[in-house]
Amino acid sequence: MNNKLNELNKTKKPLFVTVYDQLYKLIMDGTFPPDSRLPTEPELSKVFGVSRMTLRHALALLHEDGLVKKVHGKGNFITKFHQNESIDGLEKLGNPLYKCYTEKIEEVELDFRIDLVTDYARQVLRQEMTAVVALERWYKSSDKVVAYALTMMPIEAVSELNLDLQNEVQLLEMLEENVYELANSASIEIKRSNSVNTPSLKYQIFGGEECDLILESVFISDKYPVVYNKYYIPTEFSQIRINASK
């Protein structure tokens, strides 16, 4: 047994792991504080004496850890998340976009339309209905559209929730907050999407070439969801967290 342990101890650590360890320590001890930009990849490669490929492998691990995010055209930035381990995750009822989007949302624009019932609507809303209310939310920051949500609701839910479709403030309050206060449960599925930025959409999402897609069914009763949400968050601004407990 001792011989085997000695052999394991002699195993050389991969170079990208060594770089990762050093960068991790610099981030956690505040050498690179939250919101600061890391030196460029050529600069970091020179500092650590490694190839760009090795450095990128280490940075990829930091991206996966949620410690570093890449912003198109600007570089790699330190996130705020490693400082707050108590932040609520997707295990609690509440709008998942605000739990997963790493930047500040400044404005939400809302559009809605009445659609005919499709097989897809019946599948996700799990009921028969006479029409479907489709609501689109465009999340904006610094004059850019940074995330998108599509909500499907049975037309019957409008009266059940005492909604006025012409009252945008009331609709937004219901979709963003109140429906979660009324709900007793929700189910969430997480996927990856690269199809949100299409010419048919009103806006193009900044950084939306690849998005985390959160599919959410919100239940007030146990029979069927009152709304079905699809949240698209660009992966570079997405931090999905679940705090599991026994």
Smallest CA-to-CA distance from 236 within 72, 53, 62, 74 is with 72
Asked whether residue 88 is domain-assigned, the answer is no
SS3 category, 168? helix
The arithmetic mean of pLDDT across residues 24-30, rounded, is 87
> Per the domain annotation, does 170 fall within a domain?
yes
What's the pLDDT band for 11 if we cut at 50, 70, 90? Answer: low
Contacting residues for 165 by C-beta, under 8 A, at least 6 apart: 112, 133, 158, 171
Q: Which structural domain range is residue 135 located in?
A: 96-237
pLDDT (0 to 100) of residue 102: 84
Q: In this structure, which amino acid lies at residue 167?
A: N
Together in a domain, 100 and 79 = no
- Above 80 in pLDDT, residue 134? yes
Q: Are 82 and 69 in contact (CB under 8 A)?
A: no
- CATH assignment at residue 119: 3.40.1410.10
Same domain for 228 and 118, yes or no, is yes
- Both 55 and 124 in one domain: the answer is no
- In the chain, the number of structural domains is 2
Look at residue 242 and tell me if it is in a domain.
no
Q: Is the pLDDT at 4 greater than 80, yes or no? A: no
Is 79 in the same domain as 121? no
With beta carbons less than 8 A apart as the criterion, state whether 57 and 64 touch: no
| pLDDT at residue 189, rounded to an integer | 96
Q: pLDDT, tens digit, for every residue of 147-193? A: 999 999 999 999 999 999 999 999 999 999 999 999 999 999 999 99
Task: Kindly report the three-state secondary structure assignment for every residue of 17-40.
Answer: HHHHHHHHHHHHCCCCCCCCECCC
| pLDDT at position 6 | 52
Structure confidence at residue 17 (pLDDT): 87
